[in-house]
Amino acid sequence: MTELAGPKQDRSRATRRRLLETTIRCLATHGWEVSTVGFIAGEAGISRGAVQHHFRTREALILAALEHMFEERAALLDALPEPAQDGPERVHAVVRGLVEAIIGGDLFRAALQVWTVAAADPALRLAVLPLERRFARGVHRRAVRLLGADDSDPSVRALIQATLDMARGLALADVLTDDSRRRARVVRAWSGQLAAALSAA
């Protein structure tokens, strides 16, 4: 019995992961309204009953996918290499990496779908906010580490937060059109300002 439990648990974990990844892809590609449990199950190649074995409601599935999404985006940030440069080039490398990790393709687009619905759904908003705050704190900590900044200085803390807010704004601008050329110019300009401000601080 114990020998069989391992493979069964592995299959269950693999099914759950496939469901979460499919949910993210469906939200990003098809939107909230289309991404019903039945639709996601079909896209994942899993029966509706199997989905409900893992997640009893659509909201539970969406929230689990959102948490998985935040973990994936945090992993992208953790994978950013320690910049080899110093000074302004180090700051530019970090800001560029943060922006690209936060934009994150399907991850940001799926999150945007959930945020839009949560803005008008108090129950969903209450469930999403703690996840969002936890992710935001994690991103901030990683940015501080990569920049080698003194986060105890309120002005430095505000500058890092402004950097992360800018990254989200750039991700939003990229939703409808490829904004990569303008984004590169904005990142370069802001990096210079940030490097000067951090040096002065």
* Cα–Cα distance list, 118 to 23, 63, 99, 187 (Å): 17, 11, 24, 30
Domain range spanning residue 178? 2-200
pLDDT of residue 104: 67
Q: Assess whether pLDDT exceeds 80 at residue 199.
A: yes
User: For the segment 151-162, what is each residue's pLDDT rounded down to a tens digit?
Assistant: 899 999 999 999
User: For the segment 74-116, what is each residue's pLDDT rounded down to a tens digit?
Assistant: 787 788 777 777 789 989 999 998 888 877 678 888 989 999 9
User: Nearest Cα to 102, choosing from 76, 79, 82, 128?
Assistant: 76
Work out the average pLDDT over 9-13: 80
Q: Place 177 in a pLDDT band, splitting at 50, 70 and 90.
A: confident
* Cα–Cα distance list, 18 to 24, 104, 144, 196 (Å): 10, 18, 33, 45
| CA–CA dist 61, 185 (Å, integer) | 38
Q: Assess whether pLDDT exceeds 50 at residue 137.
A: yes
pLDDT of residue 1: 47
Its pTM stands at 0.80
Average pLDDT, the chain: 88
What CATH number does the domain containing 67 carry? Answer: 1.10.357.10
User: For the segment 16-62, what is each residue's pLDDT rounded down to a tens digit?
Assistant: 999 999 999 999 999 999 999 999 999 999 998 888 888 989 989 99
Q: Structurally, how many domains does the chain consist of?
A: 1
| CA–CA dist 45, 194 (Å, integer) | 47
